[in-house]
């Protein structure tokens, strides 16, 4: 009797297709939020894919996105260390990069309530780097709280607290500008 058993390589390739392939877009979005550059984001995703492929035989198959985002976080720490060791964790650098972030080329944003979008953008830009980071991962990249916690290496409660306080400040800003009253009479 002949038993057909997949070689380890075939198994790994199948796991790669099953667990990693569907996450490419999320990985790229997250990498872009972390690096603010297409080229760096691409490098970071490739580094993440390499690390993931090499350890896929040890992955238990549960929560592939969380697993990949943790790998990306570690890859990003190494990337930043290699690139500019003296600027590691420099909050000013993160802040400067965030100023380049606004997407002014989105036609939908110009049509849908430009006044509201402008006010929210103002408030967003006034947030601290820690607050902006979680807002980007959850609201822009579409990550769940736990996934954002994995990327940042912080407890999920901290993600929730920062995110809610960040949006709370944006909400307060809308209150000061009177836009919230207009929204109430929609």
Partner 1 sequence: MRRLLDRLRGTMSCGDVLKVIQSYIDGEINATTARRVAAHLEQCDPCADEEYIYGQIKASLARRRHKVDMDVLDQLMSFGERLKTDPNLGD
Nearest to partner 1 of 86, 178 (CB atom): 178
Distance of CA 169 to the CA centre of its chain: 21
* Structure-derived torsion over alpha carbons of residues 28, 74, 64, 143, reported in degrees to the nearest 10: -50
* Structure-derived torsion over alpha carbons of residues 8, 9, 15, 16, reported in degrees to the nearest 10: 150
Nearest to partner 1 of 1, 58 (CB atom): 58
Residue among 6, 11, 50, 122 that touches partner 1 (CB under 8 A): 50
Residue with structure tokens 């402008």?
A: 118
Q: Applying CB under 8 A, what is the total number of residues that bind partner 1? A: 53
> Does 135 engage in binding with partner 1 (CB under 8 A)?
yes
Helix locations, the chain, DSSP H: 8-15, 24-35, 38-54, 64-83, 91-99, 107-111, 114-125, 129-135, 145-152, 156-177, 179-184
> Does 176 engage in binding with partner 1 (CB under 8 A)?
no
Residue among 130, 145, 158, 177 that touches partner 1 (CB under 8 A): 145
Chain residues binding partner 1 by CB under 8 A are 13, 16, 20-21, 24-25, 28-29, 32-33, 38, 41-42, 45-47, 49-50, 53-54, 101-103, 105-106, 108-109, 112-113, 116-117, 120-121, 124, 135, 138-142, 144-145, 160, 163-164, 167, 170-171, 174, 180, 183-184, 186
């Amino acid at each position: 009797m002949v038993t057909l058993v997949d070689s380890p390589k075939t198994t790994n390739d199948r796991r790669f297709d099953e667990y990693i392939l569907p996450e490419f877009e999320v990985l790229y979005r997250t990498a872009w939020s972390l690096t603010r550059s297409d080229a760096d984001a691409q490098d970071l995703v490739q580094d993440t894919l390499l690390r993931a492929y090499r350890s896929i035989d040890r992955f238990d198959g549960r929560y592939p996105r969380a697993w990949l985002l943790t790998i990306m976080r570690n890859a990003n720490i190494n990337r930043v260390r290699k690139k500019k060791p003296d600027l590691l964790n420099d909050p000013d650098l993160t802040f400067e990069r965030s100023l380049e972030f606004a997407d002014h080329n989105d036609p939908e944003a110009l049509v849908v309530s430009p006044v509201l979008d402008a006010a929210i953008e103002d408030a967003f830009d006034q947030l601290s780097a820690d607050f902006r980071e979680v807002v980007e991962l959850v609201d822009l990249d579409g990550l769940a709280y736990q996934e954002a916690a994995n990327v940042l290496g912080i407890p999920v409660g901290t993600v929730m607290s920062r995110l809610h306080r960040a949006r709370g400040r944006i909400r307060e800003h809308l209150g000061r500008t009177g836009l919230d009253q207009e929204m109430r009479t929609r």
